[in-house]
Structure 1
Amino acid sequence: MGVPDGKAALVPPGARQAADLTAADLLAEIDAAADPQVAEVLERYFQLQPGGYGYGDEMVGVKLSTIRELLKPYRKASIPLEELEAALTSPIHEHRLAVLCLLTDRAAKEQQAIYELYLRSTAFINNWDLVDCSAPEIVGGYLFDKPRTILETLVRSESLWERRIALVATHWFIRRGQSEDIYHLAPEVFNDREDLIHKAAGWMLREAGKRVSEDELRDFLDQHAPAMPRTMLRYAIERLPAEIRAHYRAKR
């Protein structure tokens, strides 16, 4: 399965019917919007330098706000999932981001097919923005009324990004009043070597305290704060009153 040709001849989307739009059209529009100066900023921000977590990726310089604008006509299109899966293998970061945004938009109507495509494609969902824009709706949305043991498998993966997918997917549950998954998964990553994982777990714990129950979060912190990485704890307690934050920092 090849990657659609991102250099296909551009036809203004407004001049075409949504049914005629293809993944190749989308990638070509992103290429046309590329800005080398923006690319330099994004490369630093997403750590594409040697030794950075994004090393090996390629940015052309298109902001997310621009991508979302370009996606508007494609939300009415019915691009086959096979085309989108092929496009998700593109070496260009913004191509993959656009495809994931589009898959997220369609996830509610094509839940199982998109969930399975997503898990086949985790090698290409390889930076925090790609995970964060897609994991809640695609993974969390699919698993909401199903067994969630796959999250335990993902959170123990050698892949940084699969571990982050497991954690961030719980945002879907938390927004719907279910916090038990993040309290179960967070201790799995106390000893994780990656700060991005500590940030994700702390973020989800904070959201659980904010949206579901502050008392539950404090019960968790009473038990686990001494063992939590500093970054995770800092994120988790961010919305608590100052004196309570100081109490848990002292435990750490």
Structure 2
Amino acid sequence: MKNIIKEIQDALAVLSIPEKAEFFPRFFKTGKGEYGEGDLFLGVKVPDQRSVAKEYYSKINLKDLSSLIASEYHEHRLTAIFILVSKFEKTKDLEEKEQVVQFYLNHLPYINNWDIVDSSCYKILGRYAFENQKEHLLRELSESEEMWHKRIAVVGTMHYIKKGSFDFTKEFVTRNLKHPHDLMHKANGWLLREMGNKNEGALISYLNLYYKEMPRTCLRYAIEKLDEDLRQDYLKGRI
């Protein structure tokens, strides 16, 4: 185990860029009281992390991956997530998929920043829930008090949107419409916008019910792709 973990860590260390290591803590809000408080960074770009994950996903097992995803370094955790997504997508065996899903759920404390959430939740949990009618997995996270769990739930419905199913997106957005953190406002607006890309009528019907209650950031994200006149009507409350 130590050898494969060390290989991955060494591969990432070689790709470290000092300027990025200095910039990322500010970008990911790691200061006291911020959402990424205490997170540490090596300074490795995402494409490089994906390359490392591509090289090692078939070489490392889930037991060993548990050590990597628990790292205090952000890039170790994100690379572990890229590996996990590859393991899920590359296998056709349902039992193996279920093992990946259980691993994901067992390691939620380490899926603790928006990029780690957004890179994985709909590709693993959302797809699994859709294909196996396990929506309760997402719903339970949506009802959690933990913000990252709520974001996993709503972004996890991206897979449903891609398949033309919108009910769970609307349910989870509505439940957490007035969440106090703007990371939820952005996630909710993003998923509504994706729903609109798939079916503009479905977005407009939802907006007409709730747009006056939405935080401004959520609304702006949701209406980004609409006709400009219609956007202004929503922004100025004329509907």
Asked whether the two chains share a fold, i.e. TM above 0.5, the reply is yes
Q: 1:188: Cα distance to partner?
A: 0.8
Question: Corresponding residue for 1:240?
Answer: 226
Instruction: Determine the structure 1 residue equivalent to 2:75.
Output: 94
Q: Distance in 1 between matches of 2:122 and 2:134?
A: 16
**Which deviations, in whole Å up to 9, do the C-alpha atoms of 1:175-229 show, x marking residues without a partner?**
1211111111111111201100110011001001102x10011000011111111
Give the Cα–Cα distance (whole angstroms) in 2 for the partners of residues 86 and 172 of structure 1: 28
Q: TM-score, normalised by structure 1?
A: 0.88
Instruction: From 62, 79, 101, give the equivalent of 1:115.
Output: 101
Cα offset for 1:107? 1.0
Partner of 1:189: 176
Mapping 1:86-235, distance limit 5 Å? 86-108=67-89, 109=91, 110-145=96-131, 146-211=133-198, 213-235=199-221
Q: How far off its partner does 1:80 sit?
A: 1.1
Q: Distance in 2 between matches of 1:217 and 1:131?
A: 24
Q: RMSD of the alignment, in Å?
A: 1.5
Gaps of 5+ in 1: 9-21
- AA aligned to 1:94 is E
* More displaced 10-residue stretch of structure 1: 173-182 or 24-33: 24-33
Equivalent AA in structure 1 for residue 189 of structure 2: G
Among residues 27, 30, 35, which one is paired with 1:48 in the alignment? 30
Q: CA deviation at 1:143?
A: 0.4
Match in the other structure for 1:71 = 53
How many residue pairs match? The answer is 232
Q: Which moved more, 1:232-241 or 1:110-119?
A: 110-119
Determine if contact 2:30/2:36 at 8 Å carries over to the other structure: yes
C-alpha distance in 1, partners of 2:130/2:36? Answer: 30
Residue 240 (structure 1) shift: 0.3
Deviations along 1:78-104, whole A, 9 cap, x unmatched?
A: 411111122111111000000100101
- Range that drifts further, 241-250 or 197-206: 241-250
Give 1:53 deviation, angstroms.
0.8
Provide the rounded CA distance (Å) in 2 between the counterparts of 1:69 and 1:190. 37
Structure 2 Cα separation of the partners of residues 83 and 246 of structure 1: 52
**Please, which moves more after superposition, 160-169 or 138-147?**
138-147
Partner of 1:18: none
Task: Mark the runs of 5 or more structure 2 residues left unpaired by the alignment.
Answer: none
- Select the residue among 81, 85, 88 that pairs with 2:66: 85
Percent identical among aligned pairs is: 35
- Mapped to 2, the partners of 1:140 and 1:150 lie a distance apart of 9
The structural deviation recorded for 1:45 is 0.7
- Matched residues in 1 for 2:56 and 2:137: separation? 31
Q: How far 1:29 sits from its partner (Å)?
A: 1.1
Task: Work out the CA distance in 1 between the residues paired with 2:105 and 2:51.
Answer: 27
Partner letter of residue 40 of structure 2? E
CA distance in 2, matches of 1:176, 1:24: 40
